[in-house]
Amino acid sequence: MNTGQTIFSQIMDFLPLHEFRKCVKRYHGNYRVKSFSCLDQFLSMAFAQLTYRESLRDIEACLRSMQNKLYHIGIRGTVSRNTLANANEKRDWRIYADFAQILIHTARKLYAKEPFAVELEQTVYALDATTIKLCLSLFPWSHFRLKQGAIKLHTLMDLKGSIPSFIKITPAKISEVTILDELIPETGSFYILDRGYLDFSRLFILHQALAFFVVRNKSKVKFRRLYSRFVDKSTGLRADQTVVPVIPKAIHDYPEKLRRIRFYDSVNKRHFIFLTNNFLLPALTVAQLYKCRWQIELFFKWTKQHLRIRAFYGTSENAVKIQIWIAISVYVLVAIIKKRLHLNMSLYTILQIFSVTIFEKVPMLQLLTDYECKIQKANFDNQLTLFDL
């Protein structure tokens, strides 16, 4: 790799720019644009994500201080607060949504053989949503409650590698369960769902598509037990039963039998009841699958803490969506870099290193490898400890 390139340029070298240009052309992104192209906008916003910039003025000040390096990192237009704000306001957010999906497709291929907590050949997805709160006076289009604005980030995550495969941004008023209507069920795959997605008509569509689901049961939903299977209670299992719904509407919406598994978590001292249409997997494996759903909660927490999706650079709906999609693109791009360079460090560590070395002219692999070597040496030094614990 060329040592004359900045770290930022080396990061952007992993982008499939020919695919990005296709996305721009699809939505006429550069129509009547003279100086500040969609690529300039993407690179400026990606820089803001990687360096944790707080505002458009912050982005402008930082990039203008490196004016002599902007051409070499791919930014051809003049970066200004007004120009960037205008681009976020008017450029079609679908350009960056489609490009993020291309990066996601690439990352999923790289992480397809990633080890998983449960030994399964099938793909395992977790579906959930998180709410991003907004100030109603600044974002009046995001009305959620009486004095609160918000949007929802619906995510279907491939748990092998923690890569999101489907993302949709909606008003917070949209019910989470309606997102099931937009999914194309993948035959043979497992969908891990929280109890908010317990809708028998929609679950039956998954069943008819020959996909499997594991969903947490609601306490008010009653079933009639047909027969039970033996369980080893030392593993935390309490029951493994074949059941049918009791309520007539539920029977109409889901006319097939279901499997109900009761599990006791001795660590957190909580009881769980799971419903699934898979009758072949061991009951303990079904409980372990639901436990893996926690990865999507960690993804939401990680993105809110380490990506700029809580403080927005623009107040329009279009600007908010552009910023979120570019943030997701940066997350997936770093995941691609980690896999292609065979790095063992976490995404958080990689992002932190990039944030303080973004304009350094050193090979990226050397930078990240030297960091790992220093950590290993620090762990095996001969320095005496002050307190012998």
Tell me the sheet residues that pair with 240: 229, 261
- Strand-strand pairing, 223-229 and 258-265: unpaired
Is 256 within 8 Å of 210 (Cβ atoms)?
no
pTM exceeds 0.85 for this model = yes
pLDDT in tens, the chain (389 residues): 445 789 999 999 999 999 999 999 999 999 988 889 999 999 999 999 999 998 999 999 999 988 888 888 888 888 899 999 999 999 999 999 999 999 999 999 998 888 777 778 888 999 999 999 998 888 999 988 878 899 999 999 998 877 898 999 999 999 999 999 999 999 999 999 999 999 999 999 999 999 999 999 998 899 999 999 999 999 999 999 999 999 999 999 999 999 999 999 988 899 999 999 999 999 999 999 999 998 899 889 888 887 877 789 999 999 999 999 999 999 999 999 999 999 888 888 999 999 999 999 999 999 988 766 655 555 544 544 433 43
316 DSSP 8-state letter: S
pLDDT at 284: 94
pLDDT at 383: 47
pLDDT at 374: 59
Helix (H, G, I), strand (E, B) or coil at 237: strand
Is 106 within 8 Å of 158 (Cβ atoms)?
no
